[in-house]
Chains A and B, each alone.
Chain A
Amino acid sequence: MTTVQTEPATDSPLTIGGRAFRSRLMVGTGKYRNNSDMVLAIEASGAEIVTVAVRRVDLDRTKDQGILYHLSPDQYFLLANTAGCYTADEAVRYARLAREAGFNEFVKLEVIGDRETLLPDTEGLLTAAHQLVAEGFKVLAYTNDDLVTALRLEEAGCAAVMPLASPIGSGLGLLNPYGIRTIKRRLSVPVIVDAGVGTASDACLTMEQGVDGILMNTALAEARDPVAMATAMRLAVEAGRQAFLAGRMPRREVAMPSTPNAGMLE
């Protein structure tokens, strides 16, 4: 059963690791058909936090400029991820490289446990989280919809916990609203839903659970029109947030007339 919570009508900014952000929508930079689509879509999304990855420089393609050629670190808050890492050690190594390459001590920590589903290795995730927090990183941990793992990540000192809506790149939408709602209810640090959102209704429904934000990539990059989808997602995240703050009506198993019965003709 959903409990209706009363929330203040006005929203406060999203604060992660002591830093305030205006947008509750965060976007990735992978898989776009071209860089101009990406830049325009990110702009349309209104996102402030933009994720990037650390990879080898392609030494044979000297014209390869890297993502910073297209995205200004003055305009966006670049959040490096440890995508593709399967062990805690590997993730820590990537995080250190990212901090050196980047502009902040924030890292989106991913430790993957399974190649088919890309679901997290929660044991490796917790090990890496402890290590990185000890090294002064602000860790945003990508995890599954399991409450206990989320609680452990918070205890480890993560700046935010990022449970999935559904597997990375699946576009299956929010599979476990109860799980996400429970994580949000029990944690004090921001809860950002990461991965699985496919279209605007998914984003809206996710925000209606009361979470602090959403990170998405494929939903924009693989849309027929990424710029239009980015606009839709911006509106959906805002709509879902407002709906959550507004407090929805109770669900009833029976109808209740909206028009008064009083005054009906005999």
Chain B
Amino acid sequence: MNQLEIMVNGEPRRVPAPATAADLLRYLGLDPRTVVLELNRKIVRRPQLNATALADGDAVELVHFVGGG
């Protein structure tokens, strides 16, 4: 099966190809409402997650709110 090699939060990861940003969240067990996804330094807004295809070498950041001052 085809796989994509991408970076997620600074770590290399393989995901089955083809994959969208929404697929990635599903693989990782993350609720799209609780995280923000940045693809190659551009924010992918929630309504666009399904339509955003991932490609080899993409850098994804997944962030959320934590405690801070």
Residues of A near any B CB (own CB < 8 A): 28-32, 38, 51-57, 59, 62, 65-68, 78, 80-81, 83, 93, 96-98, 100-102, 168-169, 195, 215-218
Taken residue by residue from 56 to 69, chain B's Cβ proximity to chain A (1 for < 8 Å, 0 otherwise) reads as 00000111111111
Could you say which residues of chain A place their CB within 8 Å of the CB of B45? 100
Residue on B with the closest CB to A28? Answer: B69
Contact of B9 among A59, A83, A168 (CB under 8 A): A59
The verdict on A66 contacting B64 (CB below 8 Å), with A59-B9, A217-B69 known, is: yes
Contact in complex: A30, B8 (CB < 8 Å): no
16 additional contacts, CB 8 Å, given A57-B9, A59-B8, A59-B28?
A: A28-B68, A29-B68, A53-B67, A55-B64, A55-B66, A56-B61, A57-B30, A57-B35, A57-B62, A57-B64, A59-B62, A83-B68, A100-B36, A101-B35, A101-B65, A215-B69
Q: Is B23 an interface residue (CB 8 A)?
A: no
CA distance A137 to B66 in the complex (A): 21
Question: Are A53 and B43 in contact, CB atoms less than 8 angstroms apart?
Answer: no
Name B44's closest neighbour in chain A (CB-CB): A100
- In the complex, 9 of the A-B residue pairs with CB atoms within 8 angstroms, ordered by the A residue number, are A31-B69, A52-B66, A56-B10, A59-B62, A83-B69, A100-B36, A168-B69, A217-B68, A218-B69
B67 to A38, Cβ gap below 8 A?
yes
The 6 A-B residue pairs whose C-beta atoms are closest, nearest first, are: A53-B68, A28-B69, A217-B69, A29-B67, A66-B64, A52-B65
Task: Output the least CB separation between B21 and chain A (Å).
Answer: 13
B34 interface contact, C-beta 8 A: yes
In the complex, what's the smallest C-beta–C-beta distance from B50 to chain A, in angstroms? Answer: 17
Contact A68 B65 (CB under 8 A): yes
In Å, the complex CA distance between A100 and B49 comes to: 13
Chain B: CB-nearest residue to A69 = B34
Q: Is the CB of A96 within 8 A of B8?
A: no
Q: Is B5 an interface residue (CB 8 A)?
A: no
> Given A56-B61, A100-B45, does the pair A67, B69 have CB atoms closer than 8 Å?
no
The distance in angstroms between the C-alpha atoms of A101 and B64, with both chains bound, is 7
Given contacts A57-B35, A101-B63, contact A51 B69 (CB under 8 A): yes
**Cβ-defined contact, B69 with A54, below 8 A:** no
> How far apart are the CA atoms of A74 and B22 in the complex, in Å?
27
Cβ–Cβ contact A31 & B67, under 8 A: yes
Give the residues in chain A near B41, CB-CB below 8 Å: 93
Residues of A within 8 A of B68 (CB): 28-30, 51-53, 81, 83, 217
- CA A81 – CA B65 in complex, angstroms? 10
CB-nearest residue of chain A to B62:
A57
